[in-house]
Amino acid sequence: MSYCLNPACPHPVNAPDAFTCVACESPLLLKQRYQAVKLLGEAGCCRTFEGIDRERPGDRVAIKQYLLVDFSSLGEDLGDRDELDRIRNLFEKEARRWQIVGQHPQIPTVRAYFCDERALYLIQEYVEGHTLHHLDQPHPYTEAQIRQFLANILPVLKYIHDSGVIHRDIKPNNLLQKPDGDLLLIDFGISRDLADRLSQTGLFVDEGYAAPEMRFRQVYPASDLFSLGVTCLVLLTQERTDHLYDPLQGRWMWREYLQQKRTDVSDRLAHLLNKLVNHSINKRYQSAQEVLEDLQQLEAATIPTAEIASSRAETASSTPPTPGSNPEEAIAPKTWQPLHQIDAHDGWVWSVAFSPDGQLLASGSSDRTIVFWDPETGQRR
């Protein structure tokens, strides 16, 4: 079929070979080339269509349409002509940036961009797959899956940030998994300057994933990292974002949700995620590279249990027992009993040491603080 791009059209579905809409007489081809066939979704002033490129038979495209006017009143007033020209110039500048970052294999390629009297258009390659929001995931993500997800998407964020582009709208709906398992970053949000001029048309980002500073139209690479962190929390818990944050206590409750389900993640991963979603931008990760470095340290510190067991088995088989000894006892792991859990640092704890008399415990952290503890009570001194 052919789908009419006029949002005020009462009957947008047309025959596949139609060139003009039967209901509203609007032309059905963009630039005499691109034809919409299906409405995929809409948010604010942006609508996304599946389409075809008539100059390249069989080539499917994604058509993004940014409306310039409010069609709810069916009015003809296009506003100030100079302002519309400014909007178009800003859009073309933004689209050129998208075209550059679209050279990355995990970002859809931009084929074309243009404007008409009613809307701005972005033509991208169509990628088959499902977003993480719609993926049939019977169980929440495990820690290993979250680490793999971060290792997959963080290099893409580093690439776009190094190119001077900020995504602005990272969430499960904008992460597309292809049938072969590859993950793509889709649907970039528009710049602040352009959003300011289109705000009256209802453009918005998903507030559940948006960093606090975005409410004041401030955006930084750390804003994308905040949204990525919230995405991880949703994948881990399969809960809505408004269930994971307690505004009265001013803190995230995601770990409590995990523990209620009798599951959890390591303290190191929890620290990484909490730093991603810190509401204070100064306490948040500032770059994707920083997160990657901590993730690599986390991976290095995580030794699979199977590898440990294999190593022990090899040691036992290669080392002959001494006379009178039991081989099983020789390799039996030592047991220990935790006495207290201490928590006073904002960063990872890298070192601990007891005083010579054993009456004092000191812990040093990546947050550049040293804290002293009473080993008997676990209380801070």
Is residue 319 helix, strand or coil?
Answer: coil
Round to whole Å and give the CA distance between 188 and 103.
Answer: 14
Q: Which amino acid is at 305?
A: T
Which residues touch 96 (CB under 8 Å, ≥6 apart)? none
Q: Which amino acid is at 177?
A: Q
Q: Which is the catalytic residue, given 53, 169, 187, 294?
A: 169
Give the HSE-up count for residue 20: Cα atoms under 13 Å, Cβ half-sphere: 3
Pairing of the two strands 370-373 and 361-365: antiparallel
The radius of gyration computed from the CA coordinates of the chain, to the nearest angstrom, equals: 27
Pairing of the two strands 183-185 and 245-246: unpaired
Reading the block at residue 295, the tokens are 């993730």
Q: Alpha carbon 377 to chain centroid distance?
A: 41
Give the HSE-up count for residue 5: Cα atoms under 13 Å, Cβ half-sphere: 28
B/e letters for 179-209, b = 16+ CB within 10 Å, e = fewer, are eeeebbbbbbbbbeebbebbeeeebebbeeb
Contacts 24+ apart (CB under 8 A), 366-374: 369/345, 371/342, 371/344, 371/345, 373/342
| CA-based nearest residue to 232, from 294, 295, 145, 158 | 145
For residue 28, CA distances in Å to 2, 51, 175 come to 7, 11, 30
Q: Which amino acid is at 164?
A: G
Contact in structure between 288 and 157 (CB atoms under 8 Å): yes
- The yes-or-no answer on residue 169 being catalytic is yes
Contact in structure between 184 and 107 (CB atoms under 8 Å): yes
Give the active site residues. Answer: 169
